[in-house]
Chains A and B, each alone.
Chain A
């Protein structure tokens, strides 16, 4: 390895370590509030039982009674009388239980945990809001910046590991609807942007960048199409700024809008999958809402990012082949080369995980490790990077007519897709694993 490349790698280390530390802190917070919430619920059950006349037992008796009831339920399940396997009993710590029985009051810490979960202030929110706050108040020293940028794609191994939850039949069921949604909304957005662009008398280059950016996959699609459609650098930066601004606003507002509209987790996942353009922002919003939302959003995202080569091919055909003037020689398009160059190959890892799960390689424990534990580690580091890179000065770059078109198209798509996915309903988008 050359000295330059060593220096190149070293510059990422401080920022990566910062994201790992922030990620760990946020996961520790998440671990604590979820534990407190469980305690809170158990305390509520005990207080309710006491109010109904059940005497407050000593700790050993309380523990024995819970275990005895579980054994009874398990026996009924084994005999085939009860349908579902009972959950292991959740038992309070001795000091918490004794304090509850003595004071008849749920400790403040547990109430706090319950409130934090109610407000959805999980590790996702803490990292995104906290990161954004740090970046825009105290700022981050230049030493850390390269590493925080590199931390963002660490979300992707989480997406690949999540593949261990799916089976092909279910992936096809949700994926087919996802495919239809993605196609309808990509073309819908492209048509809308073209119509708006013509009305506002914009040049073809800007219309092309905005159509690709707001229709498919945000910044990546805008970058891929900009040279093909011969966009001016100023228009390109306006377009990227607008895409980032909408994505950031959506990330922080959609989970609350989803709750207000009473969206189920799978429906919310389908909504953000079609309306948020950036993978990291989409995954963050879905994780913020819940695990089932993430499972659905992930399928739609996989289908959507798989469309980047298709959009690039379309732009090459539209602008360089169909749009070539009579004097210019018509260019040949190497379709296979474009697909090979632009295809996001991490998707293949996701498909490999689905296939391994289909063949029964993964047990429930493996799925839990991948989808509920290690996924969080990768996401936490990535979300720290996302939060620390939300700089208000970048968002200010949104402007001009690109802003009008981009925001109108993205808002229209968000509203329309919310209506469509709510009409389609939970059953269609629900991901049932093996």
Chain B
């Protein structure tokens, strides 16, 4: 395998590893939002109260 291909492979590996971490954070944030809504901590009024 030449140097250029190795560099691209490293780049691909890095990207997919970062995307995997990103996806785990996405799942955590989504789960927190769902729990807050189901327990009634955030309601329809929460969003509206953020604006004038």
Binding site for B on A (CB under 8 A): 24, 27-28, 31-32, 153, 156-157, 160-161, 164, 220, 223-224, 226-227, 230-233, 236, 341-342, 344-346, 348-349, 353, 356, 361, 365-366, 368-370, 373-374, 376-378
Q: How far is the CA of A344 from the CA of B46 in the complex (A)?
A: 31
Chain B residue contacts of A378, Cβ below 8 A: 29
Binding site for A on B (CB under 8 A): 2, 4-9, 11-12, 15-16, 19-20, 22-24, 26-27, 29-31, 33-34, 37-38, 42-44, 46-47, 50-52
Asked if residues A349 and B43 are in contact (CB atoms below 8 Å), the reply is no
Query: A369-B42, A373-B47 are contacts. A236–B26 as well, Cβ < 8 Å?
Result: no
Q: How far is the CA of A220 from the CA of B23 in the complex (A)?
A: 14
Asked if residues A220 and B19 are in contact (CB atoms below 8 Å), the reply is yes
Asked if residues A373 and B44 are in contact (CB atoms below 8 Å), the reply is yes
Q: How far is the CA of A13 from the CA of B37 in the complex (A)?
A: 26
Cβ distance B30 to chain A, nearest Cβ, rounded Å: 4
Asked if residues A28 and B15 are in contact (CB atoms below 8 Å), the reply is no
CB-nearest residue of chain A to B33: A374
Q: How far is the CA of A346 from the CA of B23 in the complex (A)?
A: 5
Chain B residue contacts of A373, Cβ below 8 A: 44, 46-47
Chain A residue contacts of B19, Cβ below 8 A: 220, 344
Cβ distance B43 to chain A, nearest Cβ, rounded Å: 7
Asked if residues B15 and A374 are in contact (CB atoms below 8 Å), the reply is no
Asked if residues B23 and A156 are in contact (CB atoms below 8 Å), the reply is yes
Cβ distance B2 to chain A, nearest Cβ, rounded Å: 8
Cβ distance B31 to chain A, nearest Cβ, rounded Å: 8
Cβ distance B21 to chain A, nearest Cβ, rounded Å: 10
CB-nearest residue of chain A to B17: A341
CB-nearest residue of chain A to B24: A345
CB-nearest residue of chain B to A31: B51
Chain A residue contacts of B33, Cβ below 8 A: 157, 161, 370, 374
Chain A residue contacts of B46, Cβ below 8 A: 369, 373
Q: Which of A164, A226, A369 neighbours the largest number of chain B CB atoms within 10 Å of its CB?
A: A369
Asked if residues B8 and A236 are in contact (CB atoms below 8 Å), the reply is yes
Cβ distance A225 to chain B, nearest Cβ, rounded Å: 8
Asked if residues B4 and A369 are in contact (CB atoms below 8 Å), the reply is no
Chain A residue contacts of B9, Cβ below 8 A: 227
10 closest residue pairs by CB, A with B: A227-B9, A373-B47, A160-B30, A156-B26, A346-B23, A227-B8, A31-B51, A226-B8, A346-B26, A157-B29
CB-nearest residue of chain B to A222: B12
Q: How far is the CA of A42 from the CA of B34 in the complex (A)?
A: 35
Cβ distance B14 to chain A, nearest Cβ, rounded Å: 9
Chain A residue contacts of B38, Cβ below 8 A: 361, 366
Asked if residues A153 and B22 are in contact (CB atoms below 8 Å), the reply is yes
Query: CB < 8 Å: which of B22, B43, B51, B52 contacts A369?
Result: B43
Chain B residue contacts of A345, Cβ below 8 A: 20, 23-24, 27
Q: How far is the CA of A349 from the CA of B24 in the complex (A)?
A: 10
Asked if residues B27 and A226 are in contact (CB atoms below 8 Å), the reply is no
Query: A346-B27, A369-B42 are contacts. A224–B47 as well, Cβ < 8 Å?
Result: no
Asked if residues A223 and B27 are in contact (CB atoms below 8 Å), the reply is no
Chain A residue contacts of B43, Cβ below 8 A: 365, 369
Chain B residue contacts of A226, Cβ below 8 A: 8, 11-12
Chain B residue contacts of A230, Cβ below 8 A: 2, 5
Q: How far is the CA of A346 from the CA of B42 in the complex (A)?
A: 23
Q: How far is the CA of A348 from the CA of B50 in the complex (A)?
A: 30
Asked if residues A27 and B44 are in contact (CB atoms below 8 Å), the reply is no
Query: CB < 8 Å: which of B8, B34, B37, B42 contacts A233?
Result: B8
Cβ distance B22 to chain A, nearest Cβ, rounded Å: 5
CB-nearest residue of chain B to A356: B34
Chain B residue contacts of A232, Cβ below 8 A: 4
Query: A226-B12, A345-B24, A361-B38 are contacts. A24–B30 as well, Cβ < 8 Å?
Result: no
Cβ distance B11 to chain A, nearest Cβ, rounded Å: 6
Asked if residues A344 and B23 are in contact (CB atoms below 8 Å), the reply is yes
Asked if residues A369 and B44 are in contact (CB atoms below 8 Å), the reply is yes
Asked if residues A348 and B27 are in contact (CB atoms below 8 Å), the reply is yes
Q: How far is the CA of A233 from the CA of B26 in the complex (A)?
A: 31
Q: How far is the CA of A344 from the CA of B19 in the complex (A)?
A: 8
Asked if residues B42 and A28 are in contact (CB atoms below 8 Å), the reply is no
Cβ distance B52 to chain A, nearest Cβ, rounded Å: 7
Q: How far is the CA of A164 from the CA of B35 in the complex (A)?
A: 13
Cβ distance A152 to chain B, nearest Cβ, rounded Å: 10
